[in-house]
Structure formats: C-alpha cells, structure tokens
C-alpha cells in the first residue's frame, strides 16, 4: 500500500469535515476522491499532503508514519485547483523549483526540466511567465513542477475544476495517459462523477465527511452500497421505495406480471438516447432511458399509456 | 454641460487645490532660498551645526527604516497568516502611531526613560537615553512603525497562501519559502512601505523635538534645525534646509514612481 489513512477526523469549528475516515491506496493506482462540495474530499487530500493537521487518526505513506511529518518531508507532489503558479518565475524555474531547493547540480536540473517540459508539451513556453499561459497550460506546468521531485504520491485537488469543458476533457485523457507512462501513485479530488469514472481505477465516494464506498468505477455503478452512491454515480429514478437506473426500466405496451400502469408525459429525443417522462397511476413521477431504436419500435408518444417494470430495483435500508 | 467640459472643470479644480495647498508654498520656499543667490544658500547649509543636523537625520533614518521594515513584514505575516489570541489587538496597535500625536509619543518616552520612569535605572547606570541618539531613534521608530505593515497586509491577503503551500510540498522549508516565494510576491508592497517609512523618518518633528533636548550641533535633526533657524530670524538658513528636505522628499517620490511595478501579471 502506498497510502494508508486510518481513523482520520478533522473539524473546522463546529463543522465536521472528516469523521473517522479510513482509506487505502494501492501503489501505482489512480484513485479518485469523489463527492459533492463540503463532503470532505479536499480536506482528506490536504491531510494526506500535510497541509492540514488531522485532529485524530494517522497517515502512513510508503510504510512510513507521516502523521507528524511536515509537508516538505512527505515526498508528495500537490497540484492545486487554481494552479498556485509562482508568478514571478518563468515556466522553467517553476518546474525546477523543487530541484533547486534540493540543490541538485545545474546540468541535472536543466536536463530533467527539459524532459518534463516535453512530457507536458510546454517546450516552447519554457521562458514565459505563468501570466502568459492559458489555464490548461498553467495546470500542465503545475503538474510538471509536482512531478519534478519524483514524489512517492501525486495529489491533485480538483485539478481541472477551473478549466472550460473542452480543455477539461482533453486534460483528463492526457492525465490518464500520463499516469500509464509515469506510474506514480495518484489521488485526485473531483466532484464530477464522469471525470472520476473515466480517469480512475479506484473511486472513494465521500459524503458528509465519511467515505460511503470504495471500488472500481463499474462496481460502484452496478453494486452501489448506499442510496447516496447510487444517486451520485449515474442517473436514478425512484420506483416506490426503491431506486432504479432509468435504463433498467422496461416499457411494455401490454400489462404483464409486476408492471405498473403509467402515462407518458413527455418524450425527449437526445440523439441516440431517448428520455421518456412518466406519470404513474398513483401520481408518482419517474423517467426511463431508451435507445432511439427501441423507442421507434414501440412508437411511443405523449399521452400514451404504457406498462412499466423495473428490471433491477434497489432498496436501501 | 458636456462631459468633456466637466472633465476639464474637474481637472482645473484639482490642480488649483493642489497649487494653493502644496505647490505654491513650496515654490515660494524655493524662491526665497535662492533670493540672495546660490552662494548664500550654500553658506547657510555648510555650517557645522546644519551639516551635523543632516547627518543625524540620516543616521536615525538608516537605523529606523531597516528595523521597521523587518518588523513590518513579520507583523504583516503574523496578522495575515497566523491565528493567535489577541490578533485583533495587534492589528489595532500597529495603527496606533497613526492615531497618536507625535508630541504625545515624545512625552510618553520622556516619562518612560526619565529619572522617575520605568527605565530610569538605565540613566542611573550611565546609559543615556533621553537627550541623545537612542531616544530620538526610538521616537522615530514609533511614529514610522505602521507603514510597511499597512502596505504588506493587503498584498499578502490578495496573493493568498497557495503558492507558499505549493513551495512546501515541493520541499522548501519556511525560510526558503519566505525568501523565494513570499518576499518576491510582496516586494512592491515592501518597497512602497519602505519609501513611506523613509519619508516619515526624514520629516519627523514632534516626537523627536520632545525627547532630543535640541542641543545645537548635537541632538538637533534637520527638521529641528529648520525651526531653530527660523526662531533665530535666519530665514535664509531655514529656507535652505527646508529646500534640501523637500528635495529629498521629491527624490523619494520620483524613485517611487520609477520603480512602480510594470504590470507583469494579470
């Protein structure tokens, strides 16, 4: 294990940011801390980095107790949402910072920075200042800066949160490729479930200062442990006391065993996917997700009566 | 009225006000100094007492400015970056010298270091504070205390602490982080603060007047010398010294404008 956090609690005044949280991160894995704002995911990351001291609990990094260790001694690389670029330094000096502090020989620094510039595709920007870069470029610079010191673990706090959608998608794919190349144990924080699903091997879903579930993207989607995980990861619709993925709702034209009668309120065409909004006989609303072909086959239209059955329904205690 | 006219009108008012209050009197002093030729002004400036007064002013400034710069930066860092009990009080106390009349400051030093004061024992043990350099330096430090801290505090708040945290995670301890990250980020605020502090030190009159004893050629600073010359009806001398003080102030102002940051970041 590369990171083992045990029983971490942290309060800010009356607010409980972390409530007895434990997490293990495998060496070389890419783990996402996923949750809504205020769920404690950033605080957990900052506790791992040593930027925040936990009220209780312990952090072990690469087998060494790091709980009392200052951030500069933990061997972590940290990437901030708003880049935290050193504004008075060129891109080259930003990336070299950690090596300069370690008083490495000039030639070695130069060579290593050149390689990193190439890795993050900023070769031609080496002598610019951060203010002359775009958001995406600044974040790539921050990543190279964190990687320069060859950290045991790389921690990223909402790294793409401040970027626009297109750059975000690009960087996401790029981060995944980078991780496959560099293999450094990586933990990143995000509130975007799609981002977590796309990039991470392992996702820890957080809510109200606790970890609700840890698992691979597919496990979380298909075997959610709690109502929160189910509704946070992927779409859901309510059926009676349970929850169903909208694509697990089966629409039939004739009544059958275990079906409920419902009227189609609206049919929304989203290209490949069609969203059908339903009003049940008991007044409850739900929605189903169909493919375009299935919708055409059934010839669904507004006002029509259909019979609904949930293929896979979950009831959480 | 059109907007162009209004703008011109506004400018005229501002300039008239400035001229009447600031430029007019200054120009008059300038004129009077050189009324009897440059030679007369030079004679007035080169008396041993006047030379000594300038020397004293410069020595006091040279001691007070570095000390207040270090204190001001440390104080600003404590106010912005640290949480400690009594922080609000410290924040308020830094401003005290701005609110307190310098004469009151001088008097309080008088009480503190006088024969019957808390530090009267210093004098009894042969360490003279009052009527000599130490008291004048202390008085000057007191009145010029807030400027660096007041300039640096808002800048520190604005830059936030993420860059410092990033430096920490990259392996920099607190001292390298301060030198390499924090100080370069606040440098313009520090320079601005230093310039204001210098100006204040050069011009200090009230507090120093009380604690110096005003011994001619010994504990008389440039500003005190102006007053002394004026009272001795040596108007030419008073004007000449004033003009040098004013010139130093103008130089400081010019330096301030020249080194103002060239908007390097957005």
**pLDDT tens-digit profile of A246-265?**
999 989 998 888 888 999 99
Residue A283's alpha-carbon distances to A138, A231, A262, A276, B197, in angstroms, are: 52, 22, 9, 16, 75
pLDDT, tens digit, for every residue of A79-135? 999 999 999 999 999 999 999 999 999 999 999 999 999 989 999 999 999 999 999
Contact across the interface for B167 and A97, Cβ inside 8 Å: yes
> What is residue A311's predicted lDDT score, i.e. its pLDDT?
83
Q: Which residue of B has its CA nearest to A98?
A: B170
Report the C-alpha gap between B69 and B63 in whole angstroms: 10
Mutate to test the interface with A, among B155, B160, B166 (most CBs of A within 10 A): B166
> What is residue A281's predicted lDDT score, i.e. its pLDDT?
83
User: B184 CB near a chain A CB, below 8 Å?
Assistant: yes
Give contacts of A78 with chain B, Cβ < 8 Å.
Answer: 165-166, 169
What's the domain count of chain B? 1
In a domain, B9, yes or no: no
- The shortest C-alpha distance from A216 to chain B (Å) reads 29
Summarize the confidence of residues A256-275 as an average pLDDT: 90
Give contacts of A45 with chain B, Cβ < 8 Å.
Answer: none
Residues A201/A175, Cβ–Cβ less than 8 Å: no
Give contacts of B163 with chain A, Cβ < 8 Å.
Answer: 84-87
Report the C-alpha gap between A123 and A139 in whole angstroms: 15
> What is residue B4's predicted lDDT score, i.e. its pLDDT?
83
Contact across the interface for B172 and A86, Cβ inside 8 Å: no
In a domain, B91, yes or no: yes
pLDDT, tens digit, for every residue of B167-197? 999 999 999 999 999 999 999 899 889 989 9
In a domain, B14, yes or no: no
User: Measured between CB atoms, which of B162, B171, B264 is closest to A149?
Assistant: B171
In a domain, B38, yes or no: yes
Contact across the interface for A102 and B181, Cβ inside 8 Å: no
pLDDT, tens digit, for every residue of B46-76? 999 999 999 999 999 999 999 999 999 999 9
Contact across the interface for A129 and B264, Cβ inside 8 Å: yes
**CB < 8 Å from B in window 13-42 of A:** none
Contact across the interface for B169 and A51, Cβ inside 8 Å: yes
Residue with more model confidence, A195 or B32:
A195
Q: How confident is the model at residue B27 (pLDDT cuts 50, 70, 90)?
A: confident
Mutate to test the interface with B, among A87, A158, A159 (most CBs of B within 10 A): A87
Report the C-alpha gap between A93 and A110 in whole angstroms: 10
| Domain of residue B203, CATH code | 1.10.3720.10
> What is residue B264's predicted lDDT score, i.e. its pLDDT?
44
3-state secondary structure of A150: coil
pLDDT, tens digit, for every residue of B73-95? 999 999 999 888 888 898 888 98
Q: How many CB atoms lie within 10 A of CB B85?
A: 6
Residue A172 has pLDDT above 80, yes or no: yes
Residue B265 has pLDDT above 50, yes or no: no
Q: How confident is the model at residue B262 (pLDDT cuts 50, 70, 90)?
A: low
pLDDT, tens digit, for every residue of A85-99? 999 999 999 999 999
> What is residue B260's predicted lDDT score, i.e. its pLDDT?
66
In a domain, B215, yes or no: yes
Report the C-alpha gap between A81 and B160 in whole angstroms: 13
Summarize the confidence of residues A225-246 as an average pLDDT: 89
- The shortest C-alpha distance from A206 to chain B (Å) reads 24
Q: Which residue of B has its CA nearest to A70?
A: B168
In a domain, B55, yes or no: yes
pLDDT, tens digit, for every residue of A36-54? 999 999 999 999 999 999 9
Tell me which residue of B222, B229, B231, B228 sits closest to B204, measured CA to CA: B222
Q: How confident is the model at residue A317 (pLDDT cuts 50, 70, 90)?
A: low
Contact across the interface for B176 and A131, Cβ inside 8 Å: no
In a domain, B13, yes or no: no
Report the C-alpha gap between A173 and A189 in whole angstroms: 16
Give contacts of A50 with chain B, Cβ < 8 Å.
Answer: 168-169
Give contacts of B167 with chain A, Cβ < 8 Å.
Answer: 86, 97, 101
Residue B261 has pLDDT above 70, yes or no: no
Residue with more model confidence, B121 or B189:
B189
Contact across the interface for B171 and A87, Cβ inside 8 Å: no
- The shortest C-alpha distance from A83 to chain B (Å) reads 8
Report the C-alpha gap between B260 and B189 in whole angstroms: 10
In a domain, B67, yes or no: yes
pLDDT above 70 covers a percentage of chain B that reads: 97
pLDDT, tens digit, for every residue of B205-218? 999 999 998 888 88
Q: Which H, E and C letters describe A249-269, residue by residue?
A: EEEECCCCCCCEEEEEEEEEE
Report the C-alpha gap between B51 and B213 in whole angstroms: 18
Contacts (Cβ under 8 Å, ≥6 apart) of A86? A93, A94, A97, A130, B163, B166, B167, B181
User: Measured between CB atoms, which of B181, B184, B265 is closest to A131?
Assistant: B265
Query: Residue length, chain A?
Result: 317
As a whole number, the mean pLDDT across chain B is 88
Report the C-alpha gap between A213 and A191 in whole angstroms: 15
Contact across the interface for A145 and B266, Cβ inside 8 Å: no
> What is residue B254's predicted lDDT score, i.e. its pLDDT?
84
Residue-number span of the structural domain to which B237 is assigned: 22-265
b/e per residue A6-42 (b: at least 16 CB within 10 A): eebbbeeeeebbbeebebbbeeebbbbbbbeeebbbb
As a whole number, the mean pLDDT across chain A is 92
């Amino acid at each position: 294990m590369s990171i083992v956090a045990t029983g971490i609690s942290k309060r800010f005044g009356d607010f409980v940011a972390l409530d007895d949280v434990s997490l293990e991160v495998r060496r070389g894995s890419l783990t996402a801390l996923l949750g809504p704002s205020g769920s404690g995911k950033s605080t957990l990351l900052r506790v791992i980095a040593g930027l925040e001291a936990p009220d209780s609990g312990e952090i072990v990094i690469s087998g060494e107790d790091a709980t009392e260790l200052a951030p500069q001694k933990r061997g972590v690389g940290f990437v901030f949402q708003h880049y935290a670029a050193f504004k008075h330094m060129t891109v080259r000096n930003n990336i070299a910072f950690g090596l300069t502090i370690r008083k490495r020989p000039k030639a070695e620094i130069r060579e290593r920075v050149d390689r990193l510039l190439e890795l993050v595709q900023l070769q031609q920007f080496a002598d610019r200042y951060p203010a002359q870069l775009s958001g995406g470029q600044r974040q790539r610079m921050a990543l190279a800066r964190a990687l320069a010191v060859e950290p045991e673990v790389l921690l990223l706090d909402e790294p793409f949160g401040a970027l626009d959608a297109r750059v975000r998608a690009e960087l996401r794919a790029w981060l995944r490729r980078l991780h496959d190349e560099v293999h450094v144990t990586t933990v990143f924080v995000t509130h975007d479930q799609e981002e977590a699903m796309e990039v991470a091997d392992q996702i820890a879903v957080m809510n109200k200062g606790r970890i609700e579930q840890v698992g691979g993207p597919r496990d979380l989607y298909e075997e959610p442990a709690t109502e929160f995980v189910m509704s946070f990861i992927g779409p859901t619709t309510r059926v009676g006391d349970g929850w169903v993925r909208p694509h697990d709702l089966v629409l039939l034209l004739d009544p059958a065993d275990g079906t409920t009668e419902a009227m189609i309120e609206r049919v929304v065409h989203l290209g490949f996917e069609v969203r059908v909004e339903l009003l049940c006989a008991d007044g409850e609303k739900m929605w189903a997700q169909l493919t375009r072909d299935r919708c055409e086959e059934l010839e669904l239209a507004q006002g029509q009566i259909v019979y609904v059955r949930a293929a896979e329904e979950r009831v959480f205690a | 009225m059109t907007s162009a006219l209004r703008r011109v009108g506004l400018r005229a008012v501002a300039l008239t006000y400035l001229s009447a209050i600031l430029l007019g009197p200054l120009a008059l002093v300038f004129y009077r100094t050189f009324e009897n030729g440059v030679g007369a002004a030079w004679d007035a400036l080169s008396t041993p007492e006047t030379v000594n007064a300038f020397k004293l002013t410069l020595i006091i400034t040279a001691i007070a400015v570095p000390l207040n710069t270090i204190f001001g930066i440390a104080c600003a860092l404590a106010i912005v970056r640290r949480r400690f009990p009594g922080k609000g009080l410290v924040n308020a106390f830094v401003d005290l010298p701005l609110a307190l009349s310098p004469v009151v400051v001088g008097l309080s030093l008088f009480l503190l270091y006088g024969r019957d004061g808390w530090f009267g024992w210093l004098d009894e043990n042969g360490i003279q504070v009052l009527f000599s350099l130490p008291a004048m330096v202390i008085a000057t430090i007191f009145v010029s205390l807030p400027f660096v801290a007041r300039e640096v505090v808002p800048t520190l708040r604005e830059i936030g602490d993420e860059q410092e945290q990033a430096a920490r995670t990259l392996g920099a301890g607190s001292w390298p982080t301060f030198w390499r990250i924090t100080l370069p980020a606040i440098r313009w605020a520090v320079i601005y603060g230093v310039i204001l502090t210098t100006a204040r030190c050069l011009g200090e009159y009230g507090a120093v007047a009380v604690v110096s004893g005003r011994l001619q050629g010994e504990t008389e600073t440039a500003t005190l010398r102006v007053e002394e010359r004026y009272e001795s009806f040596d108007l030419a001398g008073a004007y000449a010294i004033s003009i040098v003080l004013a010139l130093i102030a103008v130089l400081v102002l010019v330096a301030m404008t020249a080194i103002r940051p060239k908007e390097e970041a957005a």
